Structure 1
Amino acid sequence: MEHGIFSVDWIANHAKVSPASIACEDVSSGRVLTYAQFDDRIARLTRTFVTVFKALQDDRVLVLSRNDTDVLEIQFACMRTGTIFVPLNWRLSITELQAIVADAEPVALFYGSEFRNVAEQLASTGPIEHSIEMTAGASSEYESLLNAEPMRENYVRKEEDLWALIYTSGTTGRPKGVQFTYGMQLANAIAMGSAFRLGTDSRNLVMLPQFHAGGLLTLANPVFFFGGANVVVREFEGSLVLRLLTDQQTRITHTTGVPTVLEMLLKEPGFERLHSTSLQGFAFAGAPCAVSTIERYVEMGVPVRQCWGMTEVGPFPVVSPLAMPAQKYRSSGLQNSLVEIVIAGQDGEPVSNGQLGEILVRGPTVTPGYWRRPEATRESFTSAGWFRTGDVAYRDDEGYFYIVDRRKDMFISGGENVYPAEVERVLGLLPDVAECAVVGVPHVKWGEVGRAFIVRRQASTIGLQDVRAHCEMHLGRYKIPNEFVFVDALPRNPIGKVTKATLRDIVKVS
């Protein structure tokens, strides 16, 4: 075939080679699908895409659902038809979701039954031709679509063709669709397979949301590439996850989380049972993790693998080795085998080991850019093709990376990126708000939370309840500041710019 490995259908191939091997398990419904069954369901859904949706190459297909094996089927039906898979963040507000729908212009929307009201609103205001409800394996519109005859003719994929869009918030508050190509997916599968030693015996627990690169791309798709199994839970719940990780019948070998997940599991009764698990790799990223937490897992014999990355770069260019030296626990690890990384100074030139600079990444796992955002794409790359991450770090003499600051002003709450400019834009919609500034501050449970400083307009009586209610209408819950502080003025430097460093240093608030 002209396009070689990019046109190889991973699921169809495993269905031929090892049809009885388990492809995925859905914990909430108890569904277990072999590769033959998984392939058959995808083939039936593919027929619907072509005959019912009349889907064409590059048409967008949206999914609004908690974790579900149906989501994985939709992803691979997109692969077979050349349509673009777009998972939606169900934590966003209706206003935010409507903006994404308007940008993506989808041909279809699949949604979990719990999101019916949201889906109806999206369908009534956006360019959605088909809206299909899913009910986790029970009788539903989705299951009725699978009554079609299987379709085995597949779209011929090229390296640069788009498989998925994953929307992330931008510093301007407007969501940006990060483009994922078939070449990126293949390169990521190879890189993660090498780093985490994936194979046909791998069993990955999917507990991060599937609308995130961490829940879908980090290990789930690479495990499919290597013929292993994905065990899917609707969402993270400490006691359930601990039970699955320690169940010898379930035999989980890999999973991906965030530091908040590690902290929550530590507090679960029976945490000590982790010492006898089948875990070969517990990857985590998204925020710094306390060394004491890492040490506790190491004591249990759990191979925690600290990583660094972002949606746009694959997502993990940096992964800690399986046997991480104790003196390196504060690092995020070493670069993976398929990317180039430099630490660059303000002049764009590489700096010496030990010196701070911006992380630049180049390689086959890096996005070609943002959906319909040519200006944002140009700004994100250097003339030599390096992606500007905006993250500040240094590399030691052994090649370990240490992240010392994140993209300007951004903070991470419970593993979710929060951009202050987006929150400030929403607060600025209130007529009684003269100006505002949002910063991230430490939090015991979530790592960081937002603190908003607000200057009222003269004679305004706007209060805490008014501001919070306004945010709840326009922002996803995790973006809403944990604290609102009314001040007479914001601190500024000599050129009039708000000094957020000063705001972060305010410990006591009224």
Structure 2
Amino acid sequence: MAIEAALAEAGSFCDIVREHAQERGDTPAFTYGEETITFAELDENSNRVANALAAFGVKKGERVAFLGKNHPLYFEALLGAAKIGAVMTPVNWRLAAPEVAYILDNCCARVVFVGEGFADVLARVRGQAPDVEQVIGIDAPDHAGTDYRIWRDGFPARPPATRVGLEDDALQLYTSGTTGRPKGAVMTHGSILSSRDAVGQGEMRSWQEPVEGDVTLLAMPCFHISGTGTGIGTMVAGSNSIVLPEYDPTKALELIENYNISKIFLVPAAIQILLNHPRVKEVDFSRLKYVTYGASPIPLELMREAMEVLGCGFVQMYGMTETSGTIVALDPEHHVPEGSPRMRSVGTPLPGVEVKIIDEEGNTLPASTVGEIATRSSKNMSRYWNNPEATAETIDEDGWLRTGDAGYLDEDGYLYIHDRVKDMIISGGENVYPAEVENALYAHPKVADVAVIGIPSEKWGEEVKACVVVKAGEELTESELIQHAREHIAGYKCPKSVDFIEALPRNPSGKILRRELRAPYWEGKDRAVN
């Protein structure tokens, strides 16, 4: 059966993998170092995982979690969980222990898969995640409990009997929250497979089309939609993913050479790191067809250098966890070395995706008028996990999802990002919400008041700066405060610098005027994102 037909008939992405196993069983699905997992092995082993989870008592709709770096067995476990209607929840391994504990407790995971290097973290937080009953180590010699491969192979390879459909939950990814607590965005099989509608209608753009023999480098973390979305996408396409545990430019260049990589998704900071590598001019990139990039805009000079060195097509992607990934894209033909007005946009909506610009009351604004970006499509998440209030604030009764980004549409339907409604900072492709950082800094006994802003960074796009008012009679240093933050939140969220000031600017109602704090650092920039 052709990929297009399989997509059109699938009730879940499990069905598509099963189809690939029957028709191209010897084709590699994932490669990791010296290990290769074929589609036949992926289907059979995920059946074993499904039966093992079911035997433990995991039921449809329950969550399982994964704490570790990228690994093909993560996708095997994800697929196995999906086959019984359970939902994989990958946890950001860069988070501080209290943040890991919150997510495990919030998602109520009874089974946690842990990767090498994270057994100690999990052991420290077990007491704060009382639902966790079983821990399974994936190639984790530091974990003294159940070994994944032994556990998996103790169960039969027959397909489980559970019926899974497009409406069923499949994946739960946590996003940073404006209130300081992350929210679990729930994606269904339908939202993940929504691109199948474009396939069936022949509306896919050329860079989206699955091509036999494609090889994708999976370099972005699987706790993001960019990582898990890439892995699921290659499973659906029937192609091979070369998996990097974490982004390493030296290793990435080796894999591009050795595996004839044809597609990569990278954030702009990762592209810059790759181009700065001393070996980059020696590498043969002739098989590389597309670099897709997103999470933050890319400077024209960096794009020009990337086009010259890599010599492939570039696709800018705009989307978010809540939209199951990309909803708007700027196609390769709009990327030109000399630059163009269109290159300042993020492109046009993908087939089946609606985008509009709204004011605070939800009214649609005319072309070229800045407002909040809203979107509606089958790609939208179903809800925030156990958080109906946040869901109602984000998705209205007609299915329109507020992105929190400010921008405008031109007369031709191209979307331009102008600013962020939510004050979010994007540093190296990672979302950082000021409230999370502020909550951590407020916990320091010498801090009287604090506001966190994003300022331009040549390396990361933006970096975190804290503006701090110290309590009367106290003394506090930048290094002391940053070290305190590192004990409570992930390193990438911590301030890179601190300004100590007399008082924070506020409006009459007491709201911090972040724009006043940001203004000096963004002077001369034509938009307030970098």
How far the C-alpha of 1:407 sits from its partner, in A, is: 3.5
In 1, distance between residues paired with 2:161 and 2:223?
25
275 and 346 in structure 1: CA distance in 2 versus 1, 3 angstrom threshold: farther
1:307 to 300, 313, 317: 317
2:345 to 316, 323, 331: 331
In 2, distance between residues paired with 1:191 and 1:421?
38
2:265 counterpart residue number: 256
In 1, distance between residues paired with 2:152 and 2:182?
33
The runs of 4+ residues in structure 1 deviating greater than 6 Å are 136-140
2:326 counterpart residue number: 316
Helix, strand or coil for the counterpart of 1:268?
coil
1:194 counterpart residue number: 204
CA RMSD in angstroms, aligned pairs only: 2.2
Q: Which residues of 2 match residues 45-444 of structure 1 at below 5 A?
A: 45-51=49-55, 53-126=56-129, 127-135=131-139, 141-148=147-154, 149-188=156-195, 194-195=204-205, 196-217=208-229, 219-245=230-256, 247=257, 249-273=258-282, 276-300=285-309, 301-326=311-336, 327=340, 328-444=342-458
How far the C-alpha of 1:307 sits from its partner, in A, is: 1.1
25 and 227 in structure 1: CA distance in 2 versus 1, 3 angstrom threshold: same
How far the C-alpha of 1:348 sits from its partner, in A, is: 2.2
Taking only the aligned residue pairs, the percentage that are identical comes to 30
How far the C-alpha of 1:359 sits from its partner, in A, is: 0.9
124 and 498 in structure 1: CA distance in 2 versus 1, 3 angstrom threshold: closer
2:525 counterpart residue number: none
In 2, distance between residues paired with 1:206 and 1:362?
28
In 2, distance between residues paired with 1:191 and 1:460?
61
How far the C-alpha of 1:35 sits from its partner, in A, is: 1.0
1:5 to 10, 18, 39: 10
In 2, distance between residues paired with 1:243 and 1:203?
14
**Larger deviation, residues 35-44 vs 61-70:** 35-44
Structure 2, unaligned stretches of length 5 or more?
Answer: 1-7, 523-530
2:48 counterpart residue number: 44
1:25 to 19, 24, 31: 31
How far the C-alpha of 1:472 sits from its partner, in A, is: 1.1
In 2, distance between residues paired with 1:197 and 1:306?
16
Alpha-carbon contact 2:116-2:142 (below 8 Å) kept? no
Helix, strand or coil for the counterpart of 1:329?
helix
Helix, strand or coil for the counterpart of 1:430?
coil
In 1, distance between residues paired with 2:332 and 2:161?
38
Aligned partner letter, 1:176 = K
Using structure 1 for the length normalisation, give the TM-score: 0.93
In 2, distance between residues paired with 1:125 and 1:347?
40
Query: 1:172-198 CA distances to partner (integer Å, 9 max, x unpaired)?
Result: 011100001011111146659934222
In 2, distance between residues paired with 1:137 and 1:189?
40
How far the C-alpha of 1:325 sits from its partner, in A, is: 4.9
118 and 466 in structure 1: CA distance in 2 versus 1, 3 angstrom threshold: same
In 2, distance between residues paired with 1:154 and 1:163?
17
In 1, distance between residues paired with 2:398 and 2:283?
46
Aligned partner letter, 1:165 = Q
Alpha-carbon contact 1:70-1:136 (below 8 Å) kept? no
Alpha-carbon contact 2:231-2:241 (below 8 Å) kept? yes
In 1, distance between residues paired with 2:421 and 2:515?
14
In 2, distance between residues paired with 1:46 and 1:382?
35
Alpha-carbon contact 2:317-2:328 (below 8 Å) kept? yes
137 and 172 in structure 1: CA distance in 2 versus 1, 3 angstrom threshold: same
Alpha-carbon contact 1:455-1:488 (below 8 Å) kept? yes
Helix, strand or coil for the counterpart of 1:208?
coil
**Larger deviation, residues 392-401 vs 309-318:** 392-401
322 and 232 in structure 1: CA distance in 2 versus 1, 3 angstrom threshold: same
How far the C-alpha of 1:18 sits from its partner, in A, is: 0.9
Q: Which residues of 2 match residues 438-453 of structure 1 at below 5 A?
A: 438-453=452-467
Helix, strand or coil for the counterpart of 2:65?
strand
**Larger deviation, residues 224-233 vs 194-203:** 194-203
456 and 306 in structure 1: CA distance in 2 versus 1, 3 angstrom threshold: same
In 1, distance between residues paired with 2:382 and 2:164?
16
Alpha-carbon contact 2:51-2:160 (below 8 Å) kept? no
Structure 2 residue 460 is matched with structure 1 residue 456: no
Query: 1:254-278 CA distances to partner (integer Å, 9 max, x unpaired)?
Result: 1111010111111112323566422
**Larger deviation, residues 297-306 vs 444-453:** 297-306
297 and 466 in structure 1: CA distance in 2 versus 1, 3 angstrom threshold: closer
How far the C-alpha of 1:10 sits from its partner, in A, is: 2.0
Helix, strand or coil for the counterpart of 2:291?
strand
In 2, distance between residues paired with 1:353 and 1:182?
34
Aligned partner letter, 2:191 = M
Helix, strand or coil for the counterpart of 2:204?
helix
2:526 counterpart residue number: none
Using structure 2 for the length normalisation, give the TM-score: 0.90
